[in-house]
Amino acid sequence: MSGEKFSHRARKRFGQNFLTDTSILEKIVKAISPKPSEKIIEIGPGQGALTELLLANEVDLHAIEIDRDLAAFLRDKYANISHFHLHENDVLKVDFDSLMSPAQPGRIIGNLPYNISTPLIFRLLKYLPSIKDMLFMLQLEVVERMAAKPGSKNYGRLSIMVQYYCQVEKLFNVPSSAFSPAPKVESAIVKLTPNQQATNQLNSPEQLTNLLRQAFAQRRKTLRNNLSSLISAKELELLGINPSLRPENLSLDDYVRICKHLH
């Protein structure tokens, strides 16, 4: 079967858009810079376009695929490759502790469907001690939100939470013409490198999650209004934060400072 052309109709329910542009695929592999025996976890390998290039670098590749037809195709195609491991599963249900550990960290890559990208990234943040880095293809809008700086319209809860845990680096845009079928939106490649000290800043990341939910409940209102049930305007001033500012004007460090004060 490995020599045959595999015909697969992209399934909308799985958000399937297959990357077919060879130059973009090569650019992604260059950005990953895979080394032999390195543990790489590929989310949604699809028809194996990127998988093929990674396996050529003799990495220890674990592919997670939810689509039964694609899983059967990949299982058959790479049956004789000992460093290819297929996990037929929903990535939101995968126990990543069974695939990697702090002693044997993994690199996670994938073309993430829009409908699961944010919940999946938040889920992966819980496994950071076992992750070397992550390189994802996402909707351009999501990448811009993740990399946004204070004061910009894209800056919000997602920006702050991801930046608390990781260094965010937008690498390059990917046009819709690089896919089959072509999505209606542009995509981009983002690299997330864990900040291993992040977990030591706060006792519980949930504290930051709860604070951000409250702060950004109404973006157009000031901190004085949005945070009134948690902290007074006077306390904010004592922390060196102007209570008349809107939530998008505060830096990550400002929010961490408020969290530490509250807890």
Residue 180's pLDDT is what?
76
* pLDDT tens track for 157-174: 999 999 999 999 999 999
* pLDDT tens track for 24-83: 999 999 999 999 999 999 999 988 999 999 999 999 999 999 999 999 999 999 999 999
Residue 185's pLDDT is what?
84
Burial class (CB in 10 A: 0-12, 13-18, 19+), 164: buried
Contact call for residues 88 and 112 (beta carbons, < 8 A):
no
Q: In which band, very low, low, confident or very high, does the pLDDT at 21 lie, cut at 50, 70 and 90?
A: confident
Residue 216's pLDDT is what?
95
Contact call for residues 63 and 87 (beta carbons, < 8 A):
yes
Task: Tell me the residue type at 188.
Answer: A
pTM, 2 dp = 0.88
Q: How far apart are CA 236 and CA 223, in angstroms?
A: 9
* pLDDT tens track for 204-251: 778 899 999 999 999 889 999 999 999 999 999 999 999 999 999 999
Per DSSP, the chain holds a count of helices (H) and strands (E) of 11, 9
Q: How far apart are CA 76 and CA 93, in angstroms?
A: 24
Domains of the chain: residue spans and CATH: 12-198 (3.40.50.150), 202-262 (1.10.8.100)
Beta bridge partners of 134: 108, 192
Return all residues near 1 (Cβ < 8 A) that are at least 6 apart: 73, 76, 77
Contact call for residues 94 and 126 (beta carbons, < 8 A):
no
For the chain, the first-to-last Cα distance in angstroms comes to 59
